[in-house]
A = this chain, B = another copy of it.
Amino acid sequence: MRTISESKCFGGVQGVYAHASEATGTEMTFGLFLPEEAAAGPVPVLWFLSGLTCTHENAMVKAGAQKWAAEQGIAVVYPDTSPRGEGVADDAAWDLGQGAGFYLNATEAPWAKHYRMWDYIADELPALVTRNFAVDGERQAITGHSMGGHGALTLALSLPGRFRSVSAFAPICNPMKSDWGRKQFTAYLGPDEARWHAHDASVLMFARHFAGPVLIDTGTADEHAAKLGTPAMALAIAERRQPATLRLQPGYDHGYFFVSSFMEDHIAFHAEALWA
């Protein structure tokens, strides 16, 4: 692992690191914010999974999480959204290929070779972060935006006991029924829809429940509303009586101004679970 940069930030350190990934077979880059408290010992950690086209950098620069994470004494990890580089399959469309890994392990050519973001986020990166930094693997929470909200919800629902809380900003909730999902699942996982279920948060919520609190914010003016499938998640939460708060935030769109507007709420929500 090599350090790309480390900068003091709200009393802590905002770092960017790169490492050779076994999961993806590429070099992967991630951001990590460590609050001041990490100098004294391991701190709880919040994963922030980003959306389509993003690298590790977008949320790190634009989501405004560090201020609140510093106040709460929580680390934040910002992973990349796909493998990258020459020799890594890509597509001319911005919603497939590099920057659009959808947090799954691809099984189909040409994607299967490097697109193993599920293994990377679920296993490899947590092990690397807890081994190298003052981050407490027993106190993890996860959030994300758009495609990253999809990732946060599917990981949280699929790894019982891993995350104490899960939240999402304008998540893709029902990708099996969405233009942000059907095309990508067909490419990465093949046409058998039965294999898609494990990566649809609404399907998982109906089937599995989450043993902690859930917070979802989506703007009423979200320009991608038809692709998010929020109604399917709303229905699943209510049907399963999942402890959850679902907020339709009046007038907000899909962008980072929406994310940053509610970041304080989300960090406080996770802090309550992480420090309990």
Contact surface of A with B, Cβ cutoff 8 Å? 213, 220-222, 225, 230-231, 233-235, 237-239, 241-251
Contact = CB atoms under 8 A, between A and B. Distances in A.
A32 B158 CA distance: 50
Contacts of A243: 220, 248-251
Which of A213, A222, A231 has most B Cβ within 10 Å?
Answer: A231
Contacts of A237: 234, 246, 248
3 A-B pairs with least C-beta separation: A243-B250, A234-B238, A231-B238
A221 B243 CA distance: 10
A245 B244 contact: no
A264 to B, nearest CB: 16
Which of A221, A230, A241, A251 has most B Cβ within 10 Å?
Answer: A241
A163 to B, nearest CB: 16
A251 B243 CA distance: 8
Contact of A242 (B213, B233, B248): B248
A252 to B, nearest CB: 10
B239 A248 contact: no
B213 A241 contact: no
B238 A246 contact: yes
Contact of A241 (B220, B241, B245): B220
Nearest to A252: B243
A234 to B, nearest CB: 4
A42 B131 CA distance: 63
Contacts of A213: 250
A244 B248 contact: yes
A231 B235 contact: yes
